[in-house]
Amino acid sequence: MADSSTNTLATLQDILAAAARIAQDLSQDSLLPRLLDVFARMPAEDRVTILDILEREVDLRNLAKDAASTALGGPRAARVNPNARLYLRTADSDPPPYVQPEELVQAVIRAARVVHRAAGRGRDFRALWGPSIVDGLTRLDPEERESLRNYHRTMLELLDESEPPSGGIPPGIPPGIPH
* Structural domain containing residue 131: 99-164
For residue 68, the model assigns a pLDDT of 57
134 occurs within a structural domain? yes
90 occurs within a structural domain? no
137 occurs within a structural domain? yes
For residue 50, the model assigns a pLDDT of 94
Q: What number of residues does the chain have?
A: 179
36 and 58, same domain (yes or no): no
156 and 111, same domain (yes or no): yes
159 and 106, same domain (yes or no): yes
148 occurs within a structural domain? yes
CA-CA distance, 80 to 68, in Å (whole number)? 19
CA-CA distance, 27 to 5, in Å (whole number)? 33
Q: How many domains does the chain have?
A: 3
Nearest partner of 111 among 125, 100, 131, 124, judged by Cα? 125
For residue 178, the model assigns a pLDDT of 53
106 and 138, same domain (yes or no): yes
37 and 48, same domain (yes or no): no
Q: Alpha helices of the chain — where are they, by DSSP H? A: 2-27, 32-41, 47-66, 101-120, 125-137, 142-162
Each residue's pLDDT tens digit, 123-166: 777 887 788 889 989 999 999 999 999 999 999 999 899 888 77
36 and 55, same domain (yes or no): no
For residue 95, the model assigns a pLDDT of 65
31 occurs within a structural domain? yes
CA dihedral 110, 113, 149, 165 (to 10 degrees): 110
107 and 62, same domain (yes or no): no
- Along the 179 residues of the chain, how does pLDDT read in single tens digits? 557 778 899 999 999 999 999 888 888 888 888 999 999 999 999 999 999 999 888 887 777 776 655 554 555 556 788 778 888 776 666 666 667 788 888 888 888 888 788 777 777 778 877 888 899 899 999 999 999 999 999 999 998 998 887 766 665 555 555 54
